[in-house]
A and B are shown apart, each in its own frame.
Chain A
C-alpha cells in the first residue's frame, strides 16, 4: 500500500542545501566549493559536460562518497550521510546512469534487495504492481531482469526508489536509453512526482530536455558551479555557453554529393545471438558509399553489439552477407578484414580497442602490425614506437609519450589514439561505435571533425551511436536498428527525432513485424 508522499515540511525550508562541498582525488579536484539549493517540488537540473563533477556530487548526496569539506542540510537540519542506506532512510532515492540491477534475479527480488524490512516477496510484488501502474511505468514483478529492455530496466530502478517514498529523487542521465516518445512519458511521471512535493535532481547534458522539463538549473564546470538560472528562460546556445564557457563547436564539412561506388555492402545479414542475453539479427541490409557517413541510431540492446561483431569480423557470418568493395568477407576474421581495408573502432576502449596495461607503442602493434611493424614473424620495436609517436602527434593525444600505458590516458585521449591508429591503416571503410561516449566536449568535437574529414577524403564511414544529436550532426544518411532489424537509411534532411523515435519502436512503416523490440 502506498500513499503519495506529502510535502514534508511546510516551514519553507529548502529540501536540500549543499554548502561548499569539496572532494579531492589524487589527480583532480572533483568538486570545489559547490553550493546547491533544491526546493520541494522543484525539478532541478544539474548541467555540465562529461567530467564537470556532477556524478561525484550526486554520489556525495547519496552517501556513496564522503565529501572532504562542506555541509549538507536536509529540510533545514544539518545531516551527515554515511552510506546509501542512510540516504535512503532520509528519503533520498537515486536512479543510476548505469543500472545497479541483477540480471539473473527477478524484478521483485531486485527491489527486495534494496529495501529493508520483512522479506515477503508476495506482498512486495503487489506493491510493485500498484506503484508502477500509478506512475505510468508498468512492470511485471516476476520477470527476470535480463529479459527486460533497457527502458524497462530503468523503470525497475525508478519504481525501486518510489517504493521508499522519496522526498528527493536523483536521476543521472536518464534519457540516454530512451526513445523520444519514452522520454515524454518519463517527463510526465516526473512532473506528477513534483506536483506531489517530491524534489527532483536531474543530471544531464541534453540542453533541449532540460529546457523542456526543469524549472531551475545549476551549471557546473571543472568541479565548480559556474551559473544558476531558470532554463525555461534560456536558449540552448546560452546554456551551452554557461556549460563550456564558449560556443559549442560545430562541425564543418563539404556537402556529400553522392558517389555510387559502394565500399561496404551488407546484404541479408542474419545472425543468431551468441549470448544468452543477446539479440538476434534478421535480414540486415545496408550500403555505405565512398565519401559518405552513414549513421545507425538505436537504443542499446537492439542488436548493436551483434551487428558490430558481425561487421568487424569478431563474429563470422555467411560469406556474401558482408562485402568490402565487392569482395565477400562475411566468413573472414577481423585481421583479414583489416587487410582488405575495413577498420573498426569499438565501444569499449580499454580491454577491446586497446590492452590496458600495455604501452601505446605495443597497442599500435595490435592492428597496425601490417604497416611494417612486423617482419618475418619478428617484431620491429623502433617501427612500432615511431608509429605510435606519429599517431600521438597527428591526432593530438595528450599522454605521457608512446611508453605510457593505455590505461593512464583519459577517455578522450585514448579514443583519439585508437581512432588515429585505425585511420593510419589507410582504410576503405571505417566502422565506429559510440565515438564520443565518455569523451569531453573538446575531444568529441575533434573526433567528429576527424570522422567527417576522413569521409570526405574518400573513406566510407559507418557510425553506430545512441546519441541522436551526434548522428544528425555528422551523418549524411541515418538508419535505425530495432529488435535486430534495420530500417532503410534515409537522408538526414528528410527525417527528424520524432520519426527516428517511431522507428526505434520498431515501426518502420513497411508493414513488417518486428520481433521483440527492446525499447521503453
Chain B
C-alpha cells in the first residue's frame, strides 16, 4: 500500500504548488483588506506569458517563471489602480480581471498551442532525500516546489514577526485608524496586491512551463478560484493554507491514480471532485461565524478613500 501511496504523495506536492503560490499571494492581499477575485485571470496571464517567454527566448522554465511573475504583477496593477486609487467595487473588478485574463491569455496563447517545453527535472536534496517515505515526498521535487516552501516560510515570518506584517494586519483591520496614525494605507495595499499578482503569475507559469509544459486555453481550470477558497478555509493563516493546498493537491492527483487504486467512478465525475470538495470545505469553515469574524480582515472588500 505504501508503494502506491508514495508516488501519489510525491505528485501531490507538485499539484499543490500552484495552489500554495497563488494562495499565499491572495492571503497577503486579503490580509491588507483587498479582495482580489481575479486570481484565475492573473494565473492564466502568468501562464501564457511564461510559456511564450520560455519558447521565444529558449530560456526554459526559469525565464518563464520570471516572465510569468512580472506579467501577473502587471495584471494586478490594473486591478489595483481600479480598486485602490479609483475605489471601484472590488468583487466586480476581480471578476473583470478574470474574464479579461481568460480572454487575453487565449488570444496570445493561440499562437503557441503546438509548442512544448522540456519542463523541469526534480532536484534531489542530498541526504534529506534518502530518508524513507518522507525523503522522496518532500526532498525530491523540482525547485519551484522548494520555492513554495521558502515563500511559505517568508510569508509566515513576515506576518507574525515583523513590523511590516503588523502594519499589514492593521491596515486590513482598520484602514481608517491606520490612516489617522499616519501610515500610508494605499501604498501598503498596492504592495500587497502586486505581491499577490506576482505569486499568481508564478503559479500560472509553473503550470505551463513545468507541471504540464504546454499551453492549453484555460489551463488553470479553476485553480485560481480554488486558491481563493483555500484562503477562506485557512482562516487567513499561512500554515493552514499550506496544509489545505496539499489536501487539494492530493484530491487532484487521486483522479489520475483512481484506476490504479481500483476506484470504479467515471473519470469526469472524479474530475469534479476538487470542486465539490471546495464547496464542502467552504461550508465547514463558514459555519462558525465567530471563528470567521475573529480571523477575517475586518475591512476586506470595502473600498477606502483617504479623505472621504
Contacts and interface: CB of A to CB of B under 8 A. Distances in A.
A109 B162 CA distance: 11
Interface stretch (A27-35, A98-106, A220-228, A497-505): A98-106
Contact of B170 (A83, A105, A275): A105
Nearest to A119: B163
B180 A64 contact: yes
Interface string A274-312: 011100000000000000000000000000000000000
Interface in A181-220: none
A276 B292 CA distance: 9
Given A119-B163, A275-B293, A64 B169 contact: no
Contacts of A112: 163, 166
Contacts of A114: 181
A104 B166 CA distance: 10
Interface string A397-414: 000000000000000000
Contact of A113 (B167, B176, B294): B167
A161 to B, nearest CB: 11
Interface centre among B177, B293, B298 (most CB of A within 10 A): B177
Contacts of A109: 166
Contact of A63 (B182, B183, B298): B182
Given A102-B174, A113-B170, A276 B182 contact: no
Contact of B181 (A100, A275, A277): A100
Q: Mostly helix, strand, loop or mixed at chain A's interface?
A: loop
Contacts of B294: 104, 276
B182 A64 contact: yes
A84 B181 CA distance: 6
A100 B298 CA distance: 14
Contacts of B293: 275-277
Interface string A82-108: 011100000000001001111111000
B178 interface: yes
Contacts, number: 52
Q: Mostly helix, strand, loop or mixed at chain B's interface?
A: helix
B290 interface: yes
A99 B177 contact: yes
A100 B290 contact: no
Nearest to A114: B181
Contacts of A101: 177
Contacts of A96: 180
Interface string B240-277: 00000000000000000000000000000000000000
Interface string B138-175: 00000000000000000000000011001101100110
Contacts of B290: 275-276
Contacts of A119: 162-163
Counting chain B residues whose Cβ lies within 8 A of the other chain, the interface size class is 10 to 19
Interface string A249-279: 0000000000000000000000000011100
A99 B176 CA distance: 10
A113 B173 contact: no
A517 B162 CA distance: 34
Interface centre among B169, B173, B176, B181 (most CB of A within 10 A): B181
Interface string A102-137: 111100010011100001000000000000000000
A100 to B, nearest CB: 4
A470 B89 CA distance: 41
A102 B163 contact: no
B107 to A, nearest CB: 37
Contacts of A83: 182
Contacts of B178: 100, 102
A453 to B, nearest CB: 37
Contacts of A277: 293
B265 to A, nearest CB: 41
A100 B180 contact: yes
B10 to A, nearest CB: 38
Interface string B80-106: 000000000000000000000000000
B173 A103 contact: yes
B299 to A, nearest CB: 11
Contact of B169 (A63, A84, A105, A275): A105
Contact of A105 (B166, B180, B182): B166
A104 B180 contact: no
Contacts of B169: 102, 104-105
A112 B163 CA distance: 8
Interface string B276-308: 000000000000001001100010000000000
B189 to A, nearest CB: 16
A100 B166 CA distance: 15
A303 to B, nearest CB: 17
Contacts of A102: 169-170, 173-174, 177-178
Nearest to B162: A119
A114 B169 CA distance: 14
A99 B203 CA distance: 40
Contacts of A85: 182
Contacts of B166: 105, 109, 112-113
A104 B293 CA distance: 10
A203 B298 CA distance: 30
A520 B163 CA distance: 30
Contacts of B163: 112-113, 119
A102 B182 CA distance: 14
Contacts of B176: 100
Contacts of B177: 99-102
A168 to B, nearest CB: 17
A85 B183 CA distance: 9
A101 B298 CA distance: 13
Interface string B1-12: 000000000000
A83 B181 CA distance: 9
Nearest to B183: A113
Interface string A343-383: 00000000000000000000000000000000000000000
A275 B298 CA distance: 13
A105 B290 CA distance: 17
Nearest to B171: A102
A450 to B, nearest CB: 31
Contacts of A113: 163, 166-167, 170, 181, 183
A84 B182 contact: yes
B147 to A, nearest CB: 27
A-B residue pairs, 9 tightest by C-beta: A84-B182, A100-B177, A100-B180, A276-B290, A102-B170, A119-B163, A276-B293, A102-B173, A276-B294
Given A100-B178, A109-B166, 17 more contacts: A63-B182, A83-B182, A84-B182, A85-B182, A99-B177, A103-B173, A104-B294, A104-B298, A105-B170, A105-B173, A112-B163, A113-B163, A113-B183, A114-B181, A119-B162, A119-B163, A276-B290
Interface of B: 162-163, 166-167, 169-170, 173-174, 176-178, 180-183, 290, 293-294, 298
13 contacts: A84-B180, A84-B181, A100-B176, A100-B177, A102-B170, A102-B174, A103-B298, A113-B167, A113-B170, A275-B290, A275-B293, A276-B293, A276-B294
